[in-house]
Amino acid sequence: VPQSSGLCGLYLLIRSLLETAGYVAIVYPQDPVLRMGSNLTASCWVHPELGVHANSLFWTLNGHQLPSSLYRVLSPTNLSVTLAGLNASRQTSGDNLVCHNHKGHILAGSCLYVGMPPEKPVNLTCWSRNTKDLTCSWAPGGKGETNISTLYKLKYKLRWYGTEKECEDYSHTQPYSCSITQDLHLFTPYEIWVEASNRLGRATSDVIILDILDVVTTDPPSGVTVSRLGQLEDQLSVRWEAPPALKDFLFKAKYQIRYRLEESQDWKVMNDVGNQTSCRLAGLRPGTVYFVQVRCNPVGIYGSRKAGIWSEWSHPTAASTPHSERLMSCDSKSSGDSNSTLRRELKQFLGWVKKHAYGCSSMSMKLYDQWRVDMQKSPKTRNQVGKHR
Domains of the chain with CATH codes: 15-115 (2.60.40.10), 122-214 (2.60.40.10), 219-320 (2.60.40.10)
Neighbours of 190 (CB within 10 A): 22
Q: Checking DSSP bridges between strand 190-198 and strand 151-158, what pairing results, if any?
A: antiparallel
Question: Residue 348, SS3?
Answer: helix
Neighbours of 362 (CB within 10 A): 12
- Per cent of the chain over pLDDT 90 is 40
Q: What is the structure's pLDDT at 384?
A: 46
Phi, psi values for residue 263, rounded to 5°: -90, 5
Task: Please compute the mean of the pLDDT values over residues 339-367 and round it to a whole number.
Answer: 56
Amino acid code (one letter) for 59? W
pTM for the complete prediction?
A: 0.67
Q: Which segments of 330-378 does DSSP mark as H helices, in order? A: 332-356, 362-375
Higher-confidence position of 244 and 328: 244
Task: With beta carbons less than 8 A apart as the criterion, state whether 344 and 323 touch.
Answer: no
Q: What band does 25 get if pLDDT is binned at 50, 70 and 90?
A: low
Q: Checking DSSP bridges between strand 134-139 and strand 122-129, what pairing results, if any?
A: antiparallel
- Check pLDDT > 70 for residue 86: yes
Report the run of H or E that residue 224 belongs to, with start and end. Answer: strand 222-228
Separation in Å, CA 114 to CA 147, 275, 360: 7, 56, 61
CA distance 103 to 125: 57
Q: What band does 194 get if pLDDT is binned at 50, 70 and 90?
A: very high
Q: What band does 11 get if pLDDT is binned at 50, 70 and 90?
A: low
Kindly report the CA angle at 100 between 95 and 101, in degrees rounded to 5? 180
CA distance 389 to 375: 13
DSSP 346: H
Amino acid code (one letter) for 175? P
CA distance 282 to 362: 12
Name the average pLDDT for the chain: 80
Chain centroid, CA 48 distance in Å:
59
CA distance 41 to 75: 15
Task: Please compute the mean of the pLDDT values over residues 177-205 and round it to a whole number.
Answer: 92
CA distance 293 to 259: 6
- Check pLDDT > 60 for residue 133: yes
